[in-house]
């Protein structure tokens, strides 16, 4: 019987980076929604607080799942959650929801950072042998 392949070394640090980035962003959105709204050109503190709560929850979820689940599964779930995010940031800029130049730069930079996280996770998961459903590893050939 062969030993399972260890997870790629990039998955853990990338998940921790994503959790930390979400935690800091979420806390900023929750504590200073008017300031963030000023940067983005959005006047609704309620929506910014809601986004902060989602980001904070995302960070907590990663932190809770990491010690309880197989690393690759957490990475797969996280990838599914964050993959649409860069497109959402582009859509917010293109549609004019974020209409201040500073806000547009921040939103696009945020989308690029999370897009890079998604790429690193996808590349790391590519070689783990997880099935598309994320259920089990493929058996390794001897």
pLDDT at 6: 64
* pTM above threshold 0.85: no
- Whether residue 19 contacts residue 59, with contact meaning beta carbons closer than 8 Å, is answered with yes
Pick from 1-15, 40-54, 111-125: least confident: 1-15
Long-range Cβ contacts of 127-130 (<8 Å, 24+ apart): 127/8, 128/5, 128/7, 128/8, 128/72, 129/5, 130/72, 130/73, 130/76
Secondary structure percentages of the chain, helix, strand, coil, to 5: 70, 0, 30
Q: Give the residue extent of every domain in the chain.
A: 11-126
Residue 67 has pLDDT above 70, yes or no: yes
pLDDT confidence of 4, banded at 50, 70, 90? low
Residue 103 has pLDDT above 50, yes or no: yes
Q: Does residue 101 have a pLDDT over 60?
A: yes
């Amino acid at each position: 019987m062969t030993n399972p392949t260890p997870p790629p070394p990039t998955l853990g640090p990338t998940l921790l980076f994503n959790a930390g980035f979400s935690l800091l962003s979420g806390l900023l959105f929750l504590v200073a929604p008017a300031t963030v709204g000023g940067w983005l050109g959005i006047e609704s503190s309620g929506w910014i607080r809601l986004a902060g709560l989602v980001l904070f929850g995302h960070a907590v979820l990663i932190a809770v799942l990491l010690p309880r689940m197989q690393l690759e599964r957490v990475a797969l779930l996280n990838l599914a959650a964050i993959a649409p995010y860069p497109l959402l940031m582009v859509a917010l800029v293109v549609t004019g929801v974020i209409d201040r130049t500073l806000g547009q730069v921040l939103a696009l930079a945020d989308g690029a950072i999370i897009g890079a996280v998604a790429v690193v996770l996808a590349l790391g998961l590519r070689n783990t042998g997880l099935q598309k459903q994320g259920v089990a590893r493929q058996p390794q050939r001897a």
